[in-house]
Structure 1
Amino acid sequence: MRQTIITLCCIIYSITLHAQTKVSTAFSDHMVLQQQTNVSLWGWDNADQKVSIKTTWGEKLKTVTNNEGKWEVKIPTPNGNFKPHEIIVKGSSSVHLKDILIGEVWLASGQSNMQMPLWGYVNQPVLYAKEAISMANRSSGIRILQVERKPSDTEVDEVDGKWEVCTAQSIGKFSAVAYFFGNQLYRQLNVPIGLIHASRGGTKAECWIKKEEVKTLSNYKEPSKKAGPNRTPSVFYNNMIHPLVGYTIKGVIWYQGEANRKEYAYYPEVMEKLIGSWKEEWNQGDFSFYMVEIAPFAYGNPKDDTAAKLRESQLKIANKMHNVGLVSTADLGDVSYIHPSKKKKIGERLSYLALTNDYKVGGFNFRSPQFDKTEIFKNSIKVYFKDTANGITSFSKKIRGFEIAGEDKKYYPAEAKIVKGQKAVMLQSSEVSQPKYVRYGFKNYHQANLKSVAGLPVFPFRTDTLEKQEQ
């Protein structure tokens, strides 16, 4: 008899526990919803349960859960504004979400350079962090969601993290790049900004791709049992990205690549798969995806140039894919630290892409110059650049970073002079009588210093592979 009563109590408790209206943990008090669109909102309840949704900006919706108890609606959102809103969801019980802002939402992901918080790493500072943190209380219209950095072997439905208001107490532990990016948008657009941060130091790009997708890569291999999570495909996608899929965003900023540098030739395929699969899963169109070039760093071996080749692959991806951009860090590296301290400049450069491409704020040069073509003379070679409206400059300093070679591809440092009135430099070296090839900043660590007049660094490049690519 006693056992029967206990069993009945357990059954009743189980039913009562299940009979609750739930909203995905991606949604919580203090969140930002994307403005001027139909945002997704979803959750769970009993199967075939009627669910109603009401917002304080005037939307009323009804739906019914499916056989598995999931419900989802699309809610029209107004123009961005700083008025706090609320959402009430009623099913078998009710959920009341408060202090909701309408504005712009961006997802930030990658490895340790995206993870690096405003207060820095041990013995590795972030410049201008003290000023940013001390002024954060003035940016309460910026809201942040930090996803817990955990791997999972299977896809997880719920986000481990909660939305917070940007304050001096909350922002120090948040991604410096993401904050500086978001703060620039906040100042320029004058609407609330939502920043979702899901990154993990040391991870390869494959860790962030859905299992079914990553297995289609040409170089895919089943991970060994000894492989750590940072080298295991899909495990951070499962726990940190999958629960976010569907949360309506404007775009993605991505800072990763160091962990993939030894597979530089394979990296374009990996990133095309990652970007393409994310856009397909989100099912909200061709949103923007902005990457950060890995910064100059020595990596220990002076003969190693795999980081230079990884940067080359990053630029190929950006030039090939639609709505994908890349910002250069060619002037921000540190020979001793893989985490450059000038995160503010990186965040701001990412914002220039977004402000121009996504928000149509014009009037300034937002791209780094790229190599265009060469013109060979008897004992010199001229290099032309594109994506630089007012030309190039070294800001009155001696130009560094150029090397030239003849047919034998033996490179020597080159003297460089800007050609007056042209977007070009003339190169020559006493060691190369008949120059044919050029390299610029094409080392793991370099101090190349050519920029656009707007102050954006020229992307590193080499020309000795162009003939092979053109065949």
Structure 2
Amino acid sequence: MKKIYNLGLIAFVCLILINLTVNAQIPAKRTLKTSTLFSDHMVLQQQANVDIWGCSGTNQKITISPSWGKPVYAITDANGKWKTKIATPKAGGPYTITIKNEVERIIIKDVLIGEVWLASGQSNMDINLRGWLPGDTISNSAQAISKANFPKIRFMKMPFGISAVPLDSVKVNWVATSPETAGDFSAAAYFYALRLYQELNVPIGIIQSSIGGTPAEAWTSKQSLNKLKDFDKAIDGLKDLQAKGEQWTNKWPTQEIPKTNEQWKNINFSDLGAAATNFDDSQWTTLKIPGRIDLLSSGEFDGAIWLRKEIEIQDVSTDYFLKIGAIDDMEAIYINGQYVGGLNGGGFAGTPRSIQVSKNILVNGKNVIAIRVIDTGGPGSINGDVSLVNNKGNVIPLAGVWKARLVAEIKDGKFYTYGLKANIAERPNISRLNSNSPTALFNAMINPLIPYKIKGAIWYQGESNVGRAEQYKYLFPTMIADWRSKWTYDFPFYYVQIAPYPFGDPNQKEQSQKLRDAQSYALKLPKTGMASTLDIGSLKTIHPPNKHDVGERLARFALVNEYGKKITASGPIYKGLIVSGSDLIIEFTGVGSGLMAIESGLTNFEVAGADKNYVPAQAKIANNKVVVSASSVDNPIYVRYAWSDTSTATLFNKEGLPAATFSSDRK
């Protein structure tokens, strides 16, 4: 009996020792990590020493073993961070990368080696291949998506984020191109990548970091903006404001921003009680309609707000129509607690509303209209005439004071739901930290990428800086230099000159041509190129549907300058002029195989004397230069081209690339 007991004790002790050994080999908490930039399906820049980094326990040896070459090593610092470089071969793959410490292992699979480009900017870079339906479409979208079977073209899309301080990491993943995935990629960047892939036959990686309605200063670091002094006041206090904003928003539940019109229609903010006729809105604030609906005493917001108004109706013998000039961006409308309609989803901001209201839901005397408006970004408003009109032609004006209550707010790419119980008076003015705030997008959407090795960058932005052209002349080059300094090398930077568009904002009206001209000042920097879109804009939308040519024109710069292709990269760009009596002779770069005019001839040229009073000019092509004159200007000094919000292209090179807007009055 004693012997059996001893054997049992020995077995028990052995079991404990085995468990201790196993547990010693398995950390209680996983410590080995890489930046999420390094994940399955990623693309690394070919023939380069690329940075790779992550974290683990302190003072640990990390082994990084790429399947194409020899392992490299790193030692974690006191904070557990590690970083090293690995040499990449010529384009190819798929490969694997194994990363390990003494007890843990990470294997990154399906790694391709090729060309990596950063695609950034505002909405014209952000709009996806599917389009923002129904208002903003992409030409031949369905056909392009159906043919998008290119597994060696891969995208990594940065999530929208804003921050007052630089962030080191963000959650992302790489996605291979297929008909199932391509619709979510930037349309301009997709066509850029496709042209490179077709010409080079190597894997192409696109890092997309873009968001609509954003100015260049939001994409620039604090260190560089501080040198300009223009944005010091806006930057001051952002860090403290972010802390206060997080303290407020952390109180509330969150939900993802809808992706479909149906999801928008069914979104729930625990707020439908506000539609009821007998709801007590006595403590609500007030707003005047028509007008902005996204401005509160505690600051501007993007999100959802209820508007309520009591009206008197004396005749309910016939149906009515609710007429609203336009609502930015979408709404749900209730009358006497019953839903009567509304437009949900993207593309309806400028659409006039006309919603039939059945006489059966109306009552003689007091009636209540309740509208939940959702503003997804930028200025939110109700514009134009607002009224109820019956079939007899009787009109009940609805303009004036409405009760208002914020129920949800968009921040950091998601909805924070306040419902009807939150004390909105306690809300801090978190709107001062938004996607327009200087440094905010650089901190959240560019800094986490550094120093991931890129070949270069493509950029489509400028609409949000219209009205500040003189500032943009030095702000935009500062941003380019800022990024290059952060990556520590002068990578190529190719960008789009914004298209003509009739801006409605009084501060922007007839200012876009000045911004287009200001964009050309960045060409003074090395390794830059500007693609004109003067011929492929749309006066009906600020998001021209032809993104195929945008991507193709950007790709021309890369193909010529980085990959040695013998094609013409640019359309005509103003170089200088010669005064010859009453003529001005304009010289261009980007002439290609020669200048040409559209069939109806050259127009949109203007000249001026010393008084700078511009008048339309006659123009002709001679020896691959343009000669301009005006009978009313004896001594011309200045010339400009395509100098309006709604200009059209009349001058091209023979490769079909349009000349860019310019003014010779340069400082």
Fold shared by both chains (TM-score > 0.5):
yes
TM superposition shift of 1:217: 1.8
Could you tell me which residue of structure 1 aligns to residue 208 of structure 2? 197
Counterpart CA distance in 2 for 1:84 and 1:407 is 64
Distance 1:131 1:316, change over 3 A: same
TM superposition shift of 1:111: 0.6
Equivalent in 423, 427, 441 of residue 236 of structure 1: 441
Could you tell me which residue of structure 2 aligns to residue 88 of structure 1? 98
Could you tell me which residue of structure 2 aligns to residue 9 of structure 1? none
Equivalent in 428, 452, 455 of residue 247 of structure 1: 452
Deviates more, 1:379-388 or 1:238-247: 379-388
TM-score, with structure 2 as normaliser: 0.64
Residue 353 (structure 1) aligned with residue 557 (structure 2): yes
Could you tell me which residue of structure 1 aligns to residue 501 of structure 2? 297
TM superposition shift of 1:349: 0.7
TM superposition shift of 1:189: 0.5
Could you tell me which residue of structure 2 aligns to residue 321 of structure 1? 525
Gaps of 5+ in 1: 1-11
Q: Contact 1:289/1:323 (CA < 8 Å) preserved in 2?
A: yes
Counterpart CA distance in 1 for 2:635 and 2:614 is 12
Equivalent in 103, 110, 126 of residue 138 of structure 2: 126
Counterpart CA distance in 2 for 1:435 and 1:169 is 58
SS at match of 1:109: strand
Letter in 1 for 2:585: K
Equivalent in 428, 432, 455 of residue 656 of structure 2: 455
Counterpart CA distance in 1 for 2:577 and 2:64 is 62
Could you tell me which residue of structure 2 aligns to residue 405 of structure 1? 608
Equivalent in 51, 76, 80 of residue 62 of structure 2: 51
Counterpart CA distance in 1 for 2:599 and 2:658 is 15
Counterpart CA distance in 1 for 2:62 and 2:651 is 59
Q: Contact 2:560/2:568 (CA < 8 Å) preserved in 1?
A: no
SS at match of 1:181: helix
TM superposition shift of 1:228: 5.0
Question: Greater Rg, structure 1 or structure 2?
Answer: 2
Counterpart CA distance in 1 for 2:440 and 2:584 is 49
Counterpart CA distance in 1 for 2:137 and 2:509 is 27
Residue 218 (structure 1) aligned with residue 423 (structure 2): no
Deviations 1:240-293, CA, capped at 9 Å, x for gaps:
11111011110011111111122211113222322222112212x211111111
Counterpart CA distance in 1 for 2:113 and 2:576 is 46
Distance 1:17 1:222, change over 3 A: farther
What are the residue-to-residue correspondences of 1:288-437 with 2, within 5 Å?
288-300=492-504, 304-318=509-523, 320-362=524-566, 364-377=567-580, 379-419=582-622, 422-437=623-638
Deviates more, 1:144-153 or 1:427-436: 427-436
Q: Contact 2:164/2:433 (CA < 8 Å) preserved in 1?
A: no
- After the TM superposition, which parts of structure 1 deviate over 3 Å for at least 4 consecutive aligned residues? 15-19, 301-305, 372-382, 428-436
Letter in 2 for 1:418: I
Residue 175 (structure 1) aligned with residue 186 (structure 2): yes
Counterpart CA distance in 2 for 1:147 and 1:132 is 23
Distance 1:379 1:154, change over 3 A: closer
SS at match of 2:587: strand
TM superposition shift of 1:380: 4.2
Counterpart CA distance in 2 for 1:273 and 1:17 is 47
Could you tell me which residue of structure 1 aligns to residue 147 of structure 2? 135
Counterpart CA distance in 2 for 1:378 and 1:217 is 41
Letter in 1 for 2:501: F
TM superposition shift of 1:17: 5.7
Could you tell me which residue of structure 2 aligns to residue 258 of structure 1? 463
Q: CA RMSD in A?
A: 2.1
Deviates more, 1:234-243 or 1:215-224: 215-224
Distance 1:103 1:409, change over 3 A: same
More strand by share: 2
Gaps of 5+ in 2: 1-22, 238-428
Could you tell me which residue of structure 1 aligns to residue 259 of structure 2? none
Q: Contact 1:19/1:46 (CA < 8 Å) preserved in 2?
A: no
Q: Contact 1:386/1:423 (CA < 8 Å) preserved in 2?
A: no
| Matched residue count | 446
TM superposition shift of 1:153: 2.5
TM superposition shift of 1:171: 1.1
TM superposition shift of 1:415: 2.7
Deviations 1:383-423, CA, capped at 9 Å, x for gaps:
3333314221124332221122344433222232222xx01
Counterpart CA distance in 2 for 1:336 and 1:29 is 41
SS at match of 1:266: helix
